[in-house]
Amino acid sequence: MTDPAQIAPAFRDRVLALVARIPEGHVMTYGQLALLAGQPGAARQAGFVMNSLVGGVSADGTGLPWHRVINAQGRVSTHKVGFGDMQEALLRAEGVPLDATGRCDLAARQWWPPEDRAAPPAPLL
């Protein structure tokens, strides 16, 4: 497991900048964040960055739409840290439909920045 303290500040900054841009009603995956932040395959590290947010607020006090980041299966991964129900409620409040198992349709709701339109439209694993 990666020590969160060893995550490069530049990677962390790129991940947080991407999260800040996710439009209401859309989601990104941890793997997608890692890819777009320049470290394909570093989904776990992107997760550590997201875990560093407390209630959606970064260490510098910036509010971020943390709830718009989900896993590659289209589900929230925050149940184990006590925020899963809150995250699902926030997504639903923004109009993101979740099925009975808590899954979001990534094909319909996954957001790609306009400058990365050539990125794969399918969810990243």
Using CA atoms, how far apart are residues 78 and 20, in angstroms rounded to an integer? 19
Range of the domain at 44: 4-109
114 is a domain residue:
no
The model carries a pTM of 0.85
68 is a domain residue:
yes
30 is a domain residue:
yes
Tens digit of pLDDT per residue, the chain (125 long)? 455 567 899 999 999 999 999 999 999 999 999 999 999 999 999 999 998 875 665 555 567 899 999 999 999 998 888 889 999 999 999 999 999 999 999 999 999 998 766 555 444 33
What domain count does the chain have? 1
Using CA atoms, how far apart are residues 116 and 18, in angstroms rounded to an integer? 12
Distant-in-sequence, close-in-space partners of 101: CB < 8 Å, separation ≥ 6: 75
Q: What is the pLDDT of residue 52?
A: 80
121 is a domain residue:
no
Distance set, CA 103 to CA 1, 45, 69 (Å): 26, 22, 13
88 is a domain residue:
yes
CATH of the domain at 56: 1.10.10.10
Q: What is the pLDDT of residue 40?
A: 93
